[in-house]
Amino acid sequence: LLEGSVGTDVPSSGTFEAKLWALAEAAVLIGSQRSVDGRLRVTAEQARSIIGAQIGSASLTVTGSGAHDGWPQGHVAVSSSPGYASRQGPAEPPGDPVLYGLVCAENRVVRMTDEQLHTHPLGPQLDDQRGRRPPLRGWLAAPLVASDGTNLGLLQLSDRDEGEFVAVDEAILVQLAQLASVAVENALLHEQLMAQERQELTEDLLAGLSHDMQTPLAVILGAMQVLQAGPDAPVEQRLGLYELLQTQADRLQRLVQQLLDYVRLESDQLVVLRRERLDLRVLLDDLVGFTGPGRLRPIEVPSDLPPVEADPDRLMQVLSNLVGNAIKFSAEPVQLEVRAEADGLRIDVVDRGEGIEPTELALVFDKLYRTDRAREAGVPGHGLGLYVSRSLVQAMGGTLTVASAPGVGSRFTVWLPAGEGRP
């Protein structure tokens, strides 16, 4: 009863070739959708239009407790003709839990004429459903099968435009189901990976931000406690504590600034920059104050530097990000090089740290990206600094680039264009 047979229905060659051509086009259309639901929807539409039926659907078998033999189906994508939809109300997929089982439990193709369908032992059950679903007129269904041979779902049609479903229809549907299986399985895997990645990114960002906020806060809380509890503390100790309070508050302030910049960049808002003639010596003094003693080699500033207009606070933000990174990843002091180059000013931040793997070099400026090594080694950070820094430098008309080799170190280069020098 259920065995479809190929060979008795000979198609006119033109029609068959046209359908094969349509099948190739269907593959492209399915692939143009990126989501699982999109790929199922196009698959159902293409099956219905190529073979010519009033209603079709593509769906995925739900697995888990209580689910068996292809029931229930999820991600159901239905395609029906306009006439069918208006005549019958909201379209529901053809088929039935038991019918689905015939296809999904054994990954079999099922083709039934209208008479076969209604003389089938399942006939009465199908008739029972007439109240809530349009009656079926013939049925053609092919399984969607994963690469490991397990059932993914099914692709089904009912109510052929003319006559009964024939062997060529079955051959086309099987081809389409195979195309769709690969496409849908890929989309499923991709969606799973993305969900996992989002989860990991969120956790990593949370851990990084939490660390970077809690550390200065803890120091501030501790310093306040000592200052309050011990008004008789030596002057040097009190001054030391006030300085500690200041540096930790600055650190928090920079983090908040960075977060605000990140949110603005994410929502495509412009970061407002000041433009003023840069006094590099003041900036570099601030930078030495930021790093603390011994972490930065003495900086030589040439006298022939071109005038540059930039936002000094934002450039300080960029340089402290770069120097802060270099210190994190390198035990040796960090080298800062300043020179005139290519109609602009070039500042290099050079470390002899672990370096960056070639495969990761292009990714380090991506938002929230952290190198595998940094994550695995638990180096504090949150993946905001380089992303925000590059955006800021670009907003100032410059570039931020990196060269690095594992085991040798990294060189981050800020280049800013020479601007109109104001006297």
Shortest distance, CB of residue 199 to another protein, whole angstroms? Answer: 11
Q: Which is nearer to another protein, 229 or 270 (CB)?
A: 229
Q: Which is nearer to another protein, 253 or 401 (CB)?
A: 253
Q: Which residues contact 247 (CB under 8 A, 6 or more apart)?
A: none
Shortest distance, CB of residue 235 to another protein, whole angstroms? Answer: 16
C-alpha 143/C-alpha 110 separation (Å) is 9
Closest by CA to 396, choosing from 419, 365, 423, 367, is: 419
Shortest distance, CB of residue 301 to another protein, whole angstroms? Answer: 28
Shortest distance, CB of residue 195 to another protein, whole angstroms? Answer: 18
Q: Which is nearer to another protein, 70 or 381 (CB)?
A: 381
Shortest distance, CB of residue 350 to another protein, whole angstroms? Answer: 20
C-alpha 61/C-alpha 68 separation (Å) is 9
Closest by CA to 177, choosing from 347, 44, 353, is: 44
Beta carbons of 104 and 142 less than 8 angstroms apart: no
Q: Which is nearer to another protein, 213 or 271 (CB)?
A: 213
**Could you give the angle at which helices 36-51 and 167-229 cross, rounded to 10 degrees?**
170
CB atoms within 10 A of CB 56: 29
279-298 CB burial, b ≥16 within 10 A, e <16: ebeebbeebeebbeeebbee
Q: Which is nearer to another protein, 353 or 398 (CB)?
A: 353
The residue ranges that bind another protein (CB under 8 A) are 203, 206-207, 210-219, 221-223, 225-226, 229-230, 244, 247-248, 328, 377-380
Shortest distance, CB of residue 213 to another protein, whole angstroms? Answer: 7
Q: Which is nearer to another protein, 147 or 210 (CB)?
A: 210
Q: Is the peptide bond before 302 cis (omega within 30 degrees of 0)?
A: no
